[in-house]
A and B are shown apart, each in its own frame.
Chain A
Amino acid sequence: MKSRAYVCGCAAAILSFLTGCVKDPVSALREVPVPSARGVYIINQGNFGRANSSLSYYDLVSFHVYNDVFTAVNGKNLGDVAQGMTIRGSSGYVVVNNSQKIEIIDLATNLNTGTIPTGAGSSPGQMAFVNDTLALVTDLYSNALLVVNVPARRVTGSITVGANPAGVAIAGGKAYVSNSGFGSGRTVSVVSVVSLSVVQTVTVGDNPGGVQVTPSGAVYVVCTGSYDFTDPAKDTPARITVIDPSSDVVTDSIFIGGHATDIGIGIDGIGYVPSSAAVLRVDTRVHKVTGVFKEGSYFAVGVEAASGDVYLADAKNFIQPGTVSVFAPNGQLRTQFDAGLIPGAFAFKR
């Protein structure tokens, strides 16, 4: 009897080892956004290799912030390193770099209505629409622009450009692609959206990154400046190279200083450039820096068209939720809120 009890006791102890006492955490319920007419999407990159990209939504009607809306609505993660979002019609196209895909959402519901795979080994970055059917997407590591048939939801070809394309914008029937060379590039490839081929290569500043078109039609290429890791004193400063799309000639070069990667431009032509230690105000009508908009280092910038409000993202230390600060054009802080991990781009729903 004693040994039977002992054996039973041992068996019970062994069975208790099948699963432990520590249970999985209960995931916090995510708030599902109520669709509204106007709002701002914040595209949070997340950490490389962890597939924790997310979308935040700042509702400009209720002024409520919804984080992780893609997962809340669709029940799945967005993917790994969301680079940006382009709005076209009633849909948003989120480029998810390390997941090699573009997720399509319906702006009215945030429902995932489709996926455009960009192919194994691709590294999609920025997306620009030529028309409702044709879009071009930078592919960082293949030195190419991917040609996307949007209704068919597939990549139909690629256009070889310069080294490590980082940004793309459409102007004058041409796509302007910044060839970063991963720090060593100095060119912009001009691509005909008709022939889908490079028609010209323009020399710009060091390490070209973001490309934007101003309200007056000029192409602004934000050249980050090069890095010298053995001697930072030898870094070259950021500049904005201005290209006239009618002639593809460089018409100006605006000194920024420090290192900058992008510019946000309002419909009034005022641009905002986050550089190493401050956000500079640039008047794109005269191609001049007109002053410091805000001191501090910011990771991303966007300008809301209707209000002219400036959205600045602080990625902090890259392992905690970043902060978005919203400033009036006069610099007054309107609001500030937490977004997701590494807020890196904005898309405005009008």
Chain B
Amino acid sequence: MKSLRFCSSFIPVFLIHTSFASAADSTRVEESTPDTLARSYTLNEIVVTATRLGIASRSAPSGVSVVSREAIDAMPGTLLSSAISWTPGLSLRAYGGGASVQTISLRGMSPEHTLLLIDGQRYNSFQNGLADFGILSSSVVDHVEIVRGGASALYGADAVGGVINVITRAAGEGVHGSASTMVGSNHSSASGFRLEGGEGGLGLRGGLRREQGRGDYEFRFNDGRTETTLTREGEDYSLLTGDVRADWGVSPSLRTTASFTYADGDRGSPGVVTDPSSNGRGRLWDRLEYLRGGIDWDAGGGVSLSLNGSAHYGLEQYDDPGQLLNGTTLHSLYANHDGILTPEVRFNISPALSGLAGVEYARASLQSSETAEAARIQRSAFLSSSHSFLLPSQVPFEIILYPSIRYDTYSDVAGDVSPRLGVNVGLVGDPALRLRASVGKSFRAPVLNDLYWIEGGNPALRPERAISFDAGFRCDMDLLGPLRFEASYFSIDSRDRIVWVPASGTFWSPKNISSVTSRGAEAEAVWTGFDGVLRLTLNATWANVTKTSADFPGDPTQGKKLIYEPAETLNGVAEARMGSVILLIRHSWISYRYTTEINDRFLPAYSLESASARYLLHAFPFKASVKAEVNNIFNTSYQVVALYPMPLRELRVTLEAGL
């Protein structure tokens, strides 16, 4: 009963959501040089966030993936998670199909150790440290930058496993409009429209999208003797997202942007399937209002100033009519408010030296029946720079150093200093070889739930701390077409991990007791051939994530693997672009994952295949596209999280037409 009460209380702690917007062409990053990018930073330019400065991914001091708009459009699925889950080092936990709760983590760390940014601004909930990817649509995403490895020196708390920065689309020139509709398996459908226009430096865009489904997908249930095909019930969903964005180039040196996103989600949450009759009646309801704005001013002389801010309101509710507590049904409500302000100054002292300095002020509050009224003020300062050197020798070297440091203070928990040093060494030649390494401190601050949960919150918690290291290389060559190969070794040693343990009475309380080490490697090869018609991507991640501490003498979980962390993940994507037709086939293989801390139970390995075909029709001024996709082609029966069955084969067709 103890565990039952605890976990029932935590079901609703997850939820937050949104959909957002965006612009640009990620290939430009690959084609730009570090210097040109560093010198020409503007609000709309695509940057890799590894240093908070604009750099090409090849010059980054740690592993970086950039998923372009074109890749997102070609991928099966409508969620942001579908678009990025194939990248190296990334682990997705899905609590079912449809719009079920999903979390993402990097390099063997937990989801709350992965920082999600929207246009460079923190998005993780102050309440629980998580972002629910189950209702994050990819429809307005321009591109996604995934920076692996600790990055608290740049972005503060939670950037332990890495950072995912979602860049939303800006409006283009001219007037455009489009409408789309989608139908798919399990009674899923979606419809939406977008309008945008731009002239004379002013761009406006907006859109509305509704997606729903019954979530009544088929899955296979195995009771140990026989396997039967069942239909999931109670996992219906309805998502409404709307967004508007304005970009205004007041002058060549002054640009502003403002955006507002609204999202509303109503989702069934039937819980675990332990028996053919399992059928919970829980529901999640989310509402999000997210306002973001920024001003960027090129002051001349290599100095630019920017001010970015966001205001975020999230209302999350969990109801279960099947659970009566004190005569009333279970009802949990969380109202989160937070605001973040980040002024920065960037300087390009010379082609070889650039940097930035900034401060960040954030205020968050939480009202909930499950927690004491909670508020937090965060004040931070950061400094980051890049120094490049060309060493004269027979084989010239380019060395780029990336020192950065950040100091975070909080009103209710201890702060921390997070330094980091990265280096990228370029060997000029063919094949182009670059070596990279970084080492730094990262941390995760206790979230408001940890501190203020009525039934056991612990106000004496300290931040979790971690030391990250990675080293790797990238090689660009030509083998019947451009071939990029890169590999990294990484390690993250974290301590003072916050773990909920039994406290007095029948309730649990969080304590700083655990240490975890994640060590592993990532490798990726991307080959483009036949004049860009065919693009093949293969990547692999190996991770050994182990609990190293003994929480008490004889702790049998010491030395065991963390739950849900696969030891090996393989992804392969083949994409063919033949005129107006785009074909994509994707294969993923995930090794077994333990589901208990003592490692006596596990979920078996599984492989998933999906494919899509997209046909583009341009008849000026009209354009249209049709996209057909199939997920789980071979009807694999699998679970990502134990007892949450995933759908068998799903089909989806999307039509889009516009001017």
A89 proximal to B (CB < 8 A): no
Q: Are B324 and A47 in contact (CB under 8 A)?
A: no
Q: Are A259 and B595 in contact (CB under 8 A)?
A: no
Which of A15-23, A129-137, A287-295 makes up part of the contact surface? A15-23
Residue of B nearest to A338 (CB): B556
Residues in B neighbouring A74, C-beta threshold 8 A: 224-225
Contact with A along B1-26 (1 / 0, CB 8 A): 11111111000000000000000000
CB distance from B210 to the nearest CB of A (A): 29
Q: Are B275 and A100 in contact (CB under 8 A)?
A: yes
CB within 8 Å for A48 and B479 given contacts A24-B604, A317-B501, A320-B597: no
Q: Are B275 and A76 in contact (CB under 8 A)?
A: no
Distance in angstroms between the alpha carbons of A320 and B567 in the assembled complex: 22
Residues in B neighbouring A122, C-beta threshold 8 A: 322
CB distance from B525 to the nearest CB of A (A): 8
Q: Are B643 and A22 in contact (CB under 8 A)?
A: no
B132 proximal to A (CB < 8 A): no
A-B contact count (CB 8 A): 192
CB within 8 Å for A230 and B502 given contacts A20-B570, A164-B325, A182-B326: no
Distance in angstroms between the alpha carbons of A75 and B224 in the assembled complex: 5
Q: Are A25 and B456 in contact (CB under 8 A)?
A: no
Q: Are B7 and A99 in contact (CB under 8 A)?
A: no
Q: Are A17 and B454 in contact (CB under 8 A)?
A: no
Contact with A along B78-114 (1 / 0, CB 8 A): 0000000000000000000000000000000000000
CB within 8 Å for A17 and B3 given contacts A227-B505, A321-B598: no
Q: Are B592 and A79 in contact (CB under 8 A)?
A: no
Interface residues on B, range: 35 or more
Q: Are B277 and A101 in contact (CB under 8 A)?
A: yes
Residue of A nearest to B272 (CB): A49
CB distance from A273 to the nearest CB of B (A): 15
A341 proximal to B (CB < 8 A): yes
A143 proximal to B (CB < 8 A): yes
Q: Are A17 and B540 in contact (CB under 8 A)?
A: yes
CB distance from B8 to the nearest CB of A (A): 8
Q: Are A320 and B556 in contact (CB under 8 A)?
A: yes
A198 proximal to B (CB < 8 A): no
**A222-239, CB < 8 A from B:** 224, 227, 229-230, 232, 235
CB distance from A142 to the nearest CB of B (A): 6
Q: Are B551 and A341 in contact (CB under 8 A)?
A: no
Select one of A22, A83, A143, A319 contacting B598, CB under 8 A: A319
Q: Are B604 and A48 in contact (CB under 8 A)?
A: no
Distance in angstroms between the alpha carbons of A182 and B605 in the assembled complex: 40
Q: Are A24 and B507 in contact (CB under 8 A)?
A: no
Contact with B along A173-215 (1 / 0, CB 8 A): 0000000011010000000000000000000000000000000
Q: Is the interface of B mostly helix, strand, loop or mixed?
A: loop
A51 proximal to B (CB < 8 A): yes
Residues in A neighbouring B572, C-beta threshold 8 A: 14, 17-18
Select one of B224, B271, B596, B607 contacting A77, CB under 8 A: B224
A121 proximal to B (CB < 8 A): yes
Residue of A nearest to B500 (CB): A318
- The interface on chain A, measured as residues whose beta carbon lies within 8 A of the other chain's beta carbons, has a size of 72
Q: Are A20 and B596 in contact (CB under 8 A)?
A: no
CB within 8 Å for A49 and B568 given contacts A164-B324, A259-B505: no
Contact with B along A219-259 (1 / 0, CB 8 A): 00000100101101001000000000000000000000001
**A103-151, CB < 8 A from B:** 117, 119-123, 125, 141-143
**A61-112, CB < 8 A from B:** 71, 74-77, 79-81, 83, 96-101
A216 proximal to B (CB < 8 A): no
CB within 8 Å for A80 and B506 given contacts A13-B538, A20-B589, A75-B224: no
**B528-569, CB < 8 A from A:** 536, 538, 540, 542, 551-552, 555-557, 566-569
Q: Are B323 and A22 in contact (CB under 8 A)?
A: no
Contact with A along B253-285 (1 / 0, CB 8 A): 000000000000000000110110111110000
A284 proximal to B (CB < 8 A): no
Select one of B2, B5, B506, B602 contacting A25, CB under 8 A: B602
Residues in B neighbouring A320, C-beta threshold 8 A: 555-557, 597-598
Q: Are B589 and A17 in contact (CB under 8 A)?
A: yes
Residues in A neighbouring B277, C-beta threshold 8 A: 100-101, 117, 119-120
CB distance from A206 to the nearest CB of B (A): 13
Q: Are A18 and B607 in contact (CB under 8 A)?
A: yes
Q: Are B7 and A48 in contact (CB under 8 A)?
A: yes
Select one of B2, B557, B591 contacting A20, CB under 8 A: B591
Select one of B454, B555, B589 contacting A18, CB under 8 A: B589
Q: Are B480 and A3 in contact (CB under 8 A)?
A: yes
A303 proximal to B (CB < 8 A): no
Q: Are B275 and A50 in contact (CB under 8 A)?
A: no
Q: Are B592 and A83 in contact (CB under 8 A)?
A: no
A56 proximal to B (CB < 8 A): no
A52 proximal to B (CB < 8 A): yes
CB distance from A215 to the nearest CB of B (A): 27
Select one of A75, A99, A143 contacting B275, CB under 8 A: A99
Q: Are A230 and B538 in contact (CB under 8 A)?
A: no
Distance in angstroms between the alpha carbons of A333 and B516 in the assembled complex: 37
B223 proximal to A (CB < 8 A): yes
Distance in angstroms between the alpha carbons of A174 and B7 in the assembled complex: 34
B194 proximal to A (CB < 8 A): no
Q: Is the interface of A mostly helix, strand, loop or mixed?
A: loop
Q: Are B4 and A48 in contact (CB under 8 A)?
A: yes
CB within 8 Å for A17 and B570 given contacts A47-B596, A227-B507, A317-B551: yes
CB distance from B515 to the nearest CB of A (A): 16
Residue of B nearest to A117 (CB): B277
Select one of A25, A98, A163, A344 contacting B592, CB under 8 A: A25
A342 proximal to B (CB < 8 A): yes
Residues in B neighbouring A123, C-beta threshold 8 A: 322-323
Distance in angstroms between the alpha carbons of A18 and B605 in the assembled complex: 12
Residue of A nearest to B601 (CB): A52
CB within 8 Å for A47 and B3 given contacts A77-B224, A99-B278, A320-B557: yes
Contact with A along B452-471 (1 / 0, CB 8 A): 00111000000000000000
Distance in angstroms between the alpha carbons of A49 and B272 in the assembled complex: 6
Q: Are B456 and A79 in contact (CB under 8 A)?
A: no
Residue of A nearest to B561 (CB): A25
Q: Are B596 and A99 in contact (CB under 8 A)?
A: no
CB within 8 Å for A101 and B275 given contacts A50-B595, A77-B224: yes
CB distance from B330 to the nearest CB of A (A): 8
Select one of A224, A232, A261, A342 contacting B3, CB under 8 A: A342
A325 proximal to B (CB < 8 A): no
B331 proximal to A (CB < 8 A): no
Distance in angstroms between the alpha carbons of A22 and B568 in the assembled complex: 6
A158 proximal to B (CB < 8 A): no
CB distance from B209 to the nearest CB of A (A): 32
Q: Are A230 and B272 in contact (CB under 8 A)?
A: no
B327 proximal to A (CB < 8 A): yes
Q: Are B272 and A184 in contact (CB under 8 A)?
A: no
Residues in B neighbouring A6, C-beta threshold 8 A: 479-480
Distance in angstroms between the alpha carbons of A30 and B507 in the assembled complex: 33
Interface residues of A (CB under 8 A from B): 3, 6, 10, 13-14, 17-25, 28, 45, 47-52, 71, 74-77, 79-81, 83, 96-101, 117, 119-123, 125, 141-143, 163-164, 166, 181-182, 184, 224, 227, 229-230, 232, 235, 259, 261, 276, 299, 315, 317-321, 341-342, 344
Q: Which 8 A-B pairs have the closest CB atoms?
A: A76-B224, A121-B322, A120-B279, A48-B7, A99-B274, A319-B597, A22-B591, A22-B568
Q: 7 A–B contact pairs at CB < 8 A? A: A14-B538, A20-B589, A21-B568, A22-B567, A96-B274, A317-B555, A341-B596
Interface residues of B (CB under 8 A from A): 1-8, 223-225, 271-272, 274-275, 277-281, 322-327, 330, 372, 454-456, 479-480, 501-502, 504-507, 527, 536, 538, 540, 542, 551-552, 555-557, 566-572, 587, 589, 591-592, 595-598, 600-602, 604-605, 607, 642-643
